[in-house]
Amino acid sequence: MQLIAVLATFVPMALALPSLTYDPEYDNFNAEELMENVRLLRNYGKCFLDKGPCTTEGSDIKKIIPEALRTSCAKCTPKQKQLVRNVAHAFRTRLPELWAELVNKEDPTGEFRKAFNHFLKTFD
């Protein structure tokens, strides 16, 4: 009887805790295709800026961008960290004006840029 009471107390609390990492559903997202195709990269950028339609993946990724930026991807899996670094590099080198818009949208005061740029340069 006491075990049931304990479980009834802690199970809902455990279910309510935020996940320690983002959903690994997109860990195998084809970032290579995105990075090599400027048109596709631009479309994702427009999605993230609310200036164009989003794919299902784009919509899901767009939801986590603000938190990932502010925490330097603290909840990202190692695979997600590498994907973020790769895609950010593609935006910065292939579409720098779009990258600047994304950065300004998500971090208008520049509060998180130094830490996020450090994250982009480091490898786990």
Q: Return the structure tokens found at 41.
A: 């990269």
Overall fold of domain 30-121:
Antennal chemosensory protein a6 (1.10.2080)
d(C-alpha 106, C-alpha 59), whole Å: 15
> Has this prediction a pTM greater than 0.85?
no
Side-chain half-sphere CA neighbours of 117 within 13 A: 10
Q: What is the pLDDT of residue 124?
A: 56
In tens digits, what is the pLDDT along the chain, a chain of 124 residues? 554 444 444 444 444 445 688 888 878 888 899 889 999 999 999 999 999 999 998 999 999 999 998 999 999 999 999 999 999 999 999 999 999 999 999 999 999 989 998 988 887 5
Report residue 94: phi and psi, to 5°. Answer: -95, -30
Domain boundaries, the chain: 30-121
